[in-house]
Chain A
Amino acid sequence: MTPPLTIAVPRGALMRETLDLLDTLGIDTAEVRANDRKLLFADIGIVTMRPSDVPTYVEAGAADIGITGKDVLIEQSEREVYELLDLGYGFCRMVIATVDGPNPMDEALRRLGIVRVATKYLKTASRYFERTGRQAEIVEVKGSVELAPLTGLAEAIVDLTATGTTMRENGLVEREHLFDSTARLIANPVAHKLKAAAIDDLVARLRALEPTGAS
């Protein structure tokens, strides 16, 4: 039997809780858990990918629905997907952090008129600095953002943190809080219309699971 929906499942931090959730809905994800390298599980309608790719697959209709972080949806706000549900797990905070002591952003803005910000979230960071009326030079890094302020690449970082441990261990302190992020259920716009019954059924069962007001 062909599964009614193709679901894009994020690998990484959101994966375990996402699979637990799918298990409670009666989708047997044992095969996904047992196979770390396999990406496509056609018989249960699951495709796995990094969270930032989930909106790409869902927008194109390569997956009908998907699960990813709100941080990804904010960074890729131009994607045409429907956001259906706050799943409540995967809580993280998007923050600005710098080294401890006097805030190096103040010094940079006062003397140079611009602050250098290292991040993986280019649009999130540039929109936030624009909105708060500060000039920023956004420096794109692909990993270990914490290194940037320690080496003089940037005065500050914009990054996602769950517990703050990595930042603390690298001597960084949180200066500003941009937004909170949790896992979201998203849908392709056409699938949302043509597979309405299957999607509504899934959403109703997810809503019945979560304690109301999780958002």
Chain B
Amino acid sequence: MTLPIPSGTRDVLPDEMRELRAIGDALRGVFEDAGYGEVSTPALEYESVLSKGDLTGARPAYRVVDDHGDVLVLRSDMTVPIARVVASRYATAEPPLRFWYLAHAYRQVRPRRGMSRELLQVGIELVGAPAPDGTAEALTVLCRGLTAVGLQEFKVGLGDASLYPTALEELGLADDARSRILHELATHDFVGVERELIAAGLDRDTAQGLLALAQRRGGAEVLEAVPSAAAEAVAGLRDVHALLPADVAEHVIFDLGLVRDLGYYTGAVFEVYDPALGVPLGGGGRYDDLLGRFGRPLPAVGFALVVDRLHLALNGGERR
């Protein structure tokens, strides 16, 4: 008899499990060596607690009402639960705090290659380490972890979540015009970005300059000659880059138009790409305001990788 399981979930049998376990073990070695300690938190949390974090983009999709009438949700990522742990269990601990996890998160996505509704994530959170040093440490752990897993050709795209919003603000654009432009950028519609820049009343040259800014990506050369409105964020990226060891820096590319789905990012953001897979392996960034919403204002940075995608990339994926 074949009994069904929900769409977007799956069973993992021993042959695959051994390979997934090897990926987790390789990462655990790197994380533990770098001083990170493993944490586990409940898959179910109070909605009222998790919603203190900005959950735009990863709103919990599965809810149940418990026997007291409280709404419980299945966590949609690990960053917000770890922010809760830091505020409630490490309220007076001396920062920096270093945590890593290997845990499932739950999202109501359209199931497809590398995208399941029950998503096994592995990652770190570095709490109380401001930019640029904290960011450089997270990137270093990330690249050494991916190398330990056995990936060689991966690239980490590095951008800044505040870069584009600040650039638009400096031009004095109205709130609604800014949010329309940022919406087009977040949905990766550059035709729409151009249309909204012109609709906002910018002259053609300024609009073209901003459109080009959103698409600047590549080596250190993309940090040269940026518009003054983006200068501060770019200076921050340079500071991070200067701190990276050579074996890490060789994997980093800059991406001035990089935006992430999650709403809580404040500064540097990054995304991991492998030529063998059409979707990013994972990503992360700085979330300097999130901990404050849980009552322990500390700067923080972290990343999450999707274990299934690391596995697909290791197996060569669909290309080459």
Contacts and interface: CB of A to CB of B under 8 A. Distances in A.
A83 B277 contact: no
Interface string A115-148: 0000000000000000000000000000000000
B278 A62 contact: yes
A214 to B, nearest CB: 10
A188 B191 CA distance: 15
Nearest to B271: A193
A189 B157 CA distance: 12
A202 to B, nearest CB: 13
Given A60-B278, A196-B218, A85 B318 contact: no
B155 A193 contact: yes
A112 interface: no
Interface string A57-98: 001111000000000000000101111111000000000000
A59 B280 CA distance: 11
A62 B318 contact: yes
Contacts of B215: 200
A64 to B, nearest CB: 9
A83 B195 CA distance: 13
A78 B187 CA distance: 10
A31 B273 CA distance: 34
A61 B277 contact: yes
Nearest to A61: B278
Contacts of B188: 80-83, 189
Contacts of A190: 273-275, 277-280
B63 interface: no
Contacts of B275: 190, 194
Contact of A189 (B112, B253, B280): B280
A71 B319 CA distance: 28
A192 B189 CA distance: 13
A81 B189 CA distance: 8
Nearest to B204: A212
B270 to A, nearest CB: 11
A84 B277 contact: no
Interface in A46-63: 59-62
A195 to B, nearest CB: 9
Contacts of B218: 196-197
Interface in A157-197: 184, 188-194, 196-197
Contacts of B125: none
A81 B190 CA distance: 11
Contacts of B319: 61-62
B137 interface: no
Nearest to B258: A193
Interface in A199-215: 200, 215
Contacts of B253: 193
B48 to A, nearest CB: 29
A83 B192 contact: yes
Contacts of A60: 112-113, 278, 318
Nearest to A185: B191
A61 B279 contact: yes
B273 A215 contact: no
B194 interface: yes
A97 to B, nearest CB: 27
B68 interface: no
Given A60-B318, A61-B279, A84 B255 contact: no
Contacts of B279: 61, 80, 189-190
B191 A193 contact: no
A83 B193 CA distance: 10
A133 to B, nearest CB: 22
Contact of A59 (B191, B192, B278): B278
B41 to A, nearest CB: 28
A193 B218 CA distance: 8
B197 to A, nearest CB: 12
Given A190-B279, A193-B217, A194-B275, A215 B110 contact: no
A83 B214 CA distance: 13
Nearest to A60: B278
Interface of A: 59-62, 78, 80-86, 184, 188-194, 196-197, 200, 215
6 contacts: A61-B279, A82-B190, A83-B191, A83-B192, A184-B191, A196-B218
Interface pairs A-B: 8 shortest CB-CB:
A61-B278, A82-B188, A83-B189, A190-B273, A86-B191, A60-B278, A196-B217, A188-B278
Given A189-B188, A190-B275, A215-B194, 5 more contacts: A82-B188, A85-B190, A190-B279, A193-B155, A215-B195
